[in-house]
Structure 1
Amino acid sequence: MNGMDWRRMVIALAAGLGGAAVAQLLGLAAAALIGSALAVTIVALLGLKPDIPNPLRNVAFCVISVSLGSGVTPDILAEISHWPLSILLLAVTVLVVMIVCGLILRLMFGADATTAALATSPGALSYTLALAADRNADLRFVMLLQSLRLFLITVLLPPMIGFANGGVGAGPAADVPHLHIGEVAVLLAVTYGLGMILTRLRFPAPYILAGLAVSGIAHATGIVAGRPADMVLFFGFSVTGAVIGARFTGFTLSEIKRLALAGFVSTAVAVAVSVAGAFAASGLLDLPFGQVWVSYAPGGVEGMTTMALALGYDPVYVATHHVFRILFLIGILPVMVGLFAAVGRKSGKT
């Protein structure tokens, strides 16, 4: 890592931890995640180029995923029996989001068919950008709209859930014990190692899956019981928020102003569709609406599972749905891009 990289990392960490601390003092829901994302986004738009290096990012994801694994209980098998229908409804929701938002971007904002399809993909960002480069889509349009969607959902979802719950937001369970520092160190080390292996095997969200497996098995078998200390979680939330905010590095204010309306409109429609899907699943399966909404929200798997943990929802349920969404998108995105392109050719647009 060169000197400039160190400077950018220090800027990102200073802004992220500072913003997280302020949000925590203000008593916001998912405070560390939201505060860090906001602060680092501001710093990025000021041109200071914050950056979180991949090893540090992966450590933070390990902290989050080890904490997610503490949600594994002996009742997990009975709970999983409700999930197939919930996952099916999620798949339908994803398809509706892509079709409706893609049409909006094409008809209202003049995006070409391929760019519209990829800009509305609710997740799988790395894969989406690879497809965008391969299919000659407008890469900056796709990246900026994806970043705006993730930022808006990360910042606005917790207060919206609190409003939907009558002003009462969920909170992390207070009765979960803390792991000893040695237990945390071993779990994180094993998770990081497995995450590296899964990365080489091209698994989606490898460090989240690794932590769920390692920590989940350790909790299910009674080897450990509890989650990392609050300060460790604060670090994980803050760095994850900084990763979200740092995505705005390299964009100018004029670019953001030009595409902001497209980002706001497409995100609002995507959220509305996810609300409808979550409402249906919640009613059919008798599950907490907020928990299903976080699971259906078109955000990144790391950000949404972090939010589930911060809000006190079943982390295994949420993580399972977001990992499925990534796998579903990997399979369906090329098909959707082809369909959009075919429709565009028939209508005289590309």
Structure 2
Amino acid sequence: MAALAGIPAGALIGSTVAVVAVATTGQRVGLPSGLRDLAFASIGVSLGSGIDDRIFDQVEVWAVSLAILVASLIATIGLGRLILTKTFGLDSQTATLASSPGTMSNAIAIAAEGHGDATTVMFLQLMRLLILVISVPPLAYVLEGSATGEAVAGDTMPILVLAVLVGLSAGLGLLGARRGLPAACLLAGMIVSAFAHATGLVHGTSPSWLLFAAFAITGAVLSSRLSRVTAAQVKHKLQAGVSVVATALVLSLVFAWIAQRATGLPFAQVWIAYAPGGVEAMAAIGLSLGYDPAYVAVHHFARILALVVIVPIALRL
């Protein structure tokens, strides 16, 4: 319904809102992990299909953009921690983990090991994901409109070839997940597909029906996590959650503007790459709006790597 109404990333937003509505009634919601992994692998394959040898012509520009991204992560964690400790009375470790703009599972795992309050970290991180999935697509569209759609245009891959790529990506992703690699199925899909397209083994993009289904499943996966949140948590932490998300959102816009001025890339494309959401959701949003899938995906995976280093350092300060 959201897609028919012309809402940007309608499949992602529609499924998110629908599952949240069910979760708020107290019903247990969830999806089989295998279905989730196939959806993430499918999005990764679609992202990889947009990568070719032209990527090397943009290395210098992307390096500038990635450096500014790292600066934005440090600023987001620092300001978010300041707000949560001074205004809402959270301890510094809980505030640091709750302010981390990405790698939610990693932040919760660190909290569960005794660094801060794991329940508060989970709730504030879930709020960040939910608000951003719903707000980023329409805001990006208002700021600059959608791109040309080149990322999803052109001939589609044969079904058999597509099935092999998705299956291989899901298998490799499961191996990576067992070793603690974040967003493993998405990363595996992107690498497998990029290699196959760059070497000329495979041509074409993923069919639109597969992307629609993958986006819908991704939204459902993200919002189904809200079934773990109680009404008492919402009551006590809602204002803190909104404050930290708003801070991260504003900082991402500011740093995206700086990067746009430095690189000349489309502002909305840069902002989606900088938006402090989950890699699966933000990559899906960039793909659905037609922005350069390689640029968006590379920046969000760089975010994961940077946060793995930055967050432990911030916890020690």
- Name the TM-score class by shorter chain: over 0.9
Distance 2:215 2:148 in 1: 15
Residue 126 (1) aligns with residue 102 (2): no
The answer (yes or no) to whether the contact 1:295–1:321 under 8 Å persists in 2 is: yes
Q: 1:136: how far off? A: 4.3
SS in 2 for 1:72: coil
SS in 2 for 1:23: coil
Aligned counterpart, 2:161: 183
Q: 1:195: how far off? A: 1.2
Aligned counterpart, 1:138: 117
TM-score in terms of structure 1 length: 0.87
The answer (yes or no) to whether the contact 2:157–2:203 under 8 Å persists in 1 is: yes
1:51-70 correspondence runs (5 A): 51-70=30-49
The answer (yes or no) to whether the contact 2:146–2:291 under 8 Å persists in 1 is: no
Q: Give, as a single letter, the amino acid of the residue that structure 2 aligns with 1:51.
A: G
Residue 77 (1) aligns with residue 66 (2): no
Q: 1:171: how far off? A: 6.1
Aligned counterpart, 2:136: 157
Aligned counterpart, 2:270: 292
Q: Give, as a single letter, the amino acid of the residue that structure 1 aligns with 2:295.
A: Y
Q: 1:287: how far off? A: 0.6
Q: 1:175: how far off? A: 3.2
Distance 1:307 1:175 in 2: 16
Q: Give, as a single letter, the amino acid of the residue that structure 2 aligns with 1:272.
A: V
Distance 2:174 2:27 in 1: 30
Q: Which moved more, 1:38-47 or 1:248-257?
A: 248-257
1:296-307 correspondence runs (5 A): 296-307=274-285
Distance 1:141 1:273 in 2: 22
Count of residue pairs the alignment pairs up = 316
The answer (yes or no) to whether the contact 1:195–1:206 under 8 Å persists in 2 is: yes
Distance 2:39 2:265 in 1: 29
Q: 1:178: how far off? A: 1.2
Q: Give, as a single letter, the amino acid of the residue that structure 1 aligns with 2:219.
A: G
Q: 1:172: how far off? A: 3.2
Q: Percent identity?
A: 41
Aligned counterpart for 2:221 among listed residues 240, 243, 250? 243
Distance 2:146 2:24 in 1: 30
Q: 1:80: how far off? A: 2.4
Aligned counterpart, 2:7: 28
Q: Give, as a single letter, the amino acid of the residue that structure 2 aligns with 1:77.
A: F
Distance 2:49 2:172 in 1: 18
- What is the root-mean-square deviation of aligned Cα atoms in Å? 1.4
Aligned counterpart, 1:39: 18
Q: Give, as a single letter, the amino acid of the residue that structure 2 aligns with 1:225.
A: H
- Provide, for residues 108-144 of structure 1, a one-character-per-residue CA deviation record: whole Å limited to 9, x for no partner: 1111111111100111111111111112422111111
Distance 2:17 2:26 in 1: 15
Q: 1:222: how far off? A: 1.8
Aligned counterpart for 1:229 among listed residues 207, 212, 220? 207
The answer (yes or no) to whether the contact 2:2–2:14 under 8 Å persists in 1 is: yes
Aligned counterpart, 1:104: 83
Distance 1:36 1:170 in 2: 23
SS in 1 for 2:228: coil
TM-score in terms of structure 2 length: 0.96
Aligned counterpart, 1:148: 127
The answer (yes or no) to whether the contact 1:275–1:293 under 8 Å persists in 2 is: yes
Q: Which runs of 5+ in 1 are unaligned?
A: 1-21, 340-350
The answer (yes or no) to whether the contact 1:29–1:171 under 8 Å persists in 2 is: no
Residue 326 (1) aligns with residue 308 (2): no
Distance 2:115 2:295 in 1: 36
Q: Give, as a single letter, the amino acid of the residue that structure 1 aligns with 2:58.
A: E
Distance 1:128 1:23, change over 3 A: same
Aligned counterpart, 2:316: 338
Aligned counterpart for 1:218 among listed residues 193, 196, 213? 196
- Provide, for residues 177-200 of structure 1, a one-character-per-residue CA deviation record: whole Å limited to 9, x for no partner: 211111111111111122122223
Distance 1:171 1:308 in 2: 12
Runs in 1 of length 4+ with deviation above 6 angstroms?
A: none
Q: 1:164: how far off? A: 1.5
Q: Give, as a single letter, the amino acid of the residue that structure 2 aligns with 1:183.
A: V
Q: 1:203: how far off? A: 2.4
Aligned counterpart, 2:235: 257
- Structure 1 or 2, whichever has the larger Rg, is 1
SS in 1 for 2:3: helix
Aligned counterpart, 1:275: 253
The answer (yes or no) to whether the contact 2:129–2:222 under 8 Å persists in 1 is: yes
Aligned counterpart, 1:347: none
